Amino acid sequence: MNGHASTLLSRIEDTSATVGIVGLGYVGLPLAIAFAERGFPVLGFDIDDAKIDAIARGESYIKHLDGGRLAGVVREGRLTATSDFLRLGEPDAILVCVPTPLTPQREPDMSFVEKTARQIKPCLRQGQLIVLESTTYPGTTDELIRGILEESGLRSGEDFFLAFSPEREDPGNPDYGTTTIPKVIGGVDAASGDLAEALYSRAIARTVRVSSARAAEATKLVENIFRAVNIALVNELKVVYDAMGVDVWEVLDAAETKPFGFMRFNPGPGWGGHCIPLDPFYLAWKAREYGQPTKFIELAGEVNVEMPHWVVEKLQLALNDREKAVKGSRVLILGVAYKRDIDDPRESPAFELMSRLMALGAEVSYHDPHIPSLPRMRSWPDLPVLESLPLSPEIVAAHDAVLLVTDHRTVDYDLVANHAQLIVDTRGVYREARPNIVKA
């Protein structure tokens, strides 16, 4: 290691290194708390002043995150936050946790990552470590980020250090959290990898070193593409078995009893979250640069993208059987989070279902115990502002159909079944046949 690396390593080892976190959302805030709890001074950065103010008060804006942990590190002065990006020169290590969405053409939208790199560049100083955590295509760190930062005149691996370590958050998972999920780390060069590994090993129970930033970027894509492909498989089987009059959830329950050679995935109304709907398209886009087809991956994407259309068609047919049209019907969406028991709506299929139903003339409302107000979403900017309705017998009965999208455990499904005129169940919540329940 050169002198800059040795100095930074010493500061990491005695926990005097200041850790900067750019992006204080579902990934960045838990990470900030984890480092602060290990004794590091942490400086968070975000463009949302409401988040900065909440952190200053020690109040968590992420429901599944223990607010007491945040309050503790704020009270002890180990975690502060700012919207002043001119302070990016202060941290010794900067961990970048910003969104990497898709463009309307389903190509990587690197604007948030690129903007962050350009904000770091004028503040970049010798001896800093920059780590990208945002899911992306192989080559982002050593091509895009490195290129922007080296415009400063400083050299990666000599003056500053650069690595990639993908976030692996699973909101709502009771068994694994930020500090207990193994952390994959890949440096653009050996010294950068060594420093990143040293830093993360202070806060994370286990680190997994790979040979390069590209290998780390590819690892995250593999993990999520694996899920995307298997979700597409069971979604396709759901459609096929539905045509045959076979209950796919009953089949999966039986298949799951096999003690080897089978891993269960569940079908649903589409895909959601900040990774699964995006990552296959990132790899497919990058693969075209190398002339490599990704037919299997793209086919999985097509299947999952089409699921909301199939669900709406099932709802249309069910209403038609009851001599009703979608136009003018009142439809209650049950659950808008992308997965059960969390307050994260990112890329939830609920929004696409709402959009399609409204385009057909339906009057759409929703109930979600974790999301009191429908947030504005980049991919569906025209959806109206809605508030979650209380789940009462009167409200359920007043709707022509209840579309069950997210199976939160706190919902009273017996109440819904006993008072709904029609339930379209996309999650297999209702296993016994009832005249007012249609599975989709």
pLDDT band at 273 (very low <50, low <70, confident <90, very high): low
Which pLDDT value is given to residue 335? 97
Query: In this structure, is residue 236 part of a structural domain?
Result: no
Residues 63, 17 within the same domain: yes
pLDDT band at 307 (very low <50, low <70, confident <90, very high): very high
Residue bearing the bigger pLDDT, 407 or 273: 407
Query: In this structure, is residue 220 part of a structural domain?
Result: no
Q: How far apart are CA 258 and CA 256, in angstroms?
A: 5
Write the CATH number for 368.
Answer: 3.40.50.720
pLDDT band at 5 (very low <50, low <70, confident <90, very high): very high
Residues 336, 378 within the same domain: yes
What's the pLDDT tens digit per position in 332-354?
999 999 999 988 888 899 999 99
Residues 261, 308 within the same domain: yes
Which pLDDT value is given to residue 285? 86
pLDDT band at 280 (very low <50, low <70, confident <90, very high): confident
Residues 186, 250 within the same domain: no
Residues 409, 296 within the same domain: yes
Residues 277, 389 within the same domain: yes
Catalytic residues: 275
Residues 195, 254 within the same domain: no
- Look up the domain containing 410 and give its range: 246-439
Give strand pairing partners of 93.
19, 129
Q: How far apart are CA 28 and CA 213, in angstroms?
A: 20
What's the pLDDT tens digit per position in 315-324?
999 999 999 9
Residues 140, 65 within the same domain: yes
Half-sphere exposure of 418 (CA within 13 A, CB side): 8
Query: In this structure, is residue 219 part of a structural domain?
Result: no
Domain ends where: 214, 231, 264?
214
Where does 263-294 have alpha helices with state H?
Answer: 279-289
- Residue 236's closest CA among 316, 311, 300, 318? 300
What's the order of all strands across the beta sheet hosting 129-132? 79-82, 42-45, 19-22, 93-96, 129-132, 161-164, 183-187, 207-209
Query: In this structure, is residue 198 part of a structural domain?
Result: yes
Domain ends where: 174, 193, 214?
214
Residues 290, 201 within the same domain: no
Length of the chain (residues): 440
Query: In this structure, is residue 324 part of a structural domain?
Result: yes
Rounded to 5°, the CA angle 383-385-386 comes to: 105
The mean pLDDT value for 25-33 works out to: 95
pLDDT for residue 247 is more than 70: yes
What's the pLDDT tens digit per position in 389-423?
999 999 999 999 999 999 999 999 999 999 999 99
Which pLDDT value is given to residue 146? 98
Q: How far apart are CA 137 and CA 214, in angstroms?
A: 8
Which pLDDT value is given to residue 275? 63
Amino acid at 242: D
- Residue 138's closest CA among 84, 63, 188? 188
Q: In this structure, which long-range contacts are made by residues 234-239, counting pairs with CB atoms below 8 Å and at least 24 apart in sequence?
A: 234/265, 234/266, 234/267, 235/267, 235/268, 235/303, 235/304, 235/307, 236/303, 237/267, 238/267, 239/310
Domain ends where: 214, 237, 264?
214
What's the pLDDT tens digit per position in 128-168?
999 999 999 999 999 999 999 999 999 999 999 999 999 99
Query: In this structure, is residue 239 part of a structural domain?
Result: no
pLDDT for residue 281 is more than 90: no
Which residue's structure tokens are 């995250």?
220
Q: How far apart are CA 187 and CA 178, in angstroms?
A: 20
Query: In this structure, is residue 240 part of a structural domain?
Result: no
Which pLDDT value is given to residue 315? 98
pLDDT band at 271 (very low <50, low <70, confident <90, very high): confident
Q: Check if the beta carbon of residue 171 is closer than 8 Å to that of residue 133.
A: no
> In percent, how much of the chain has pLDDT > 70?
99
Which pLDDT value is given to residue 422? 98
Residues 164, 290 within the same domain: no
Which pLDDT value is given to residue 276? 65
Query: In this structure, is residue 161 part of a structural domain?
Result: yes
3-state percent breakdown (helix, strand, coil) of the chain, nearest 5: 40, 15, 45
Q: Check if the beta carbon of residue 314 is closer than 8 Å to that of residue 384.
A: no
Question: Which of helix, strand or coil describes residue 328?
Answer: coil
Q: Rg for the chain (alpha carbons), in Å?
A: 24
The total number of structural domains that make up the chain: 2
Q: How far apart are CA 294 and CA 288, in angstroms?
A: 8
Question: Which of helix, strand or coil describes residue 324?
Answer: coil
Residues 261, 168 within the same domain: no
Residue bearing the bigger pLDDT, 57 or 279: 57
The mean pLDDT value for 30-47 works out to: 97
Torsion of CA 80, 95, 161, 14, to 10 degrees: 50
Residues 179, 254 within the same domain: no
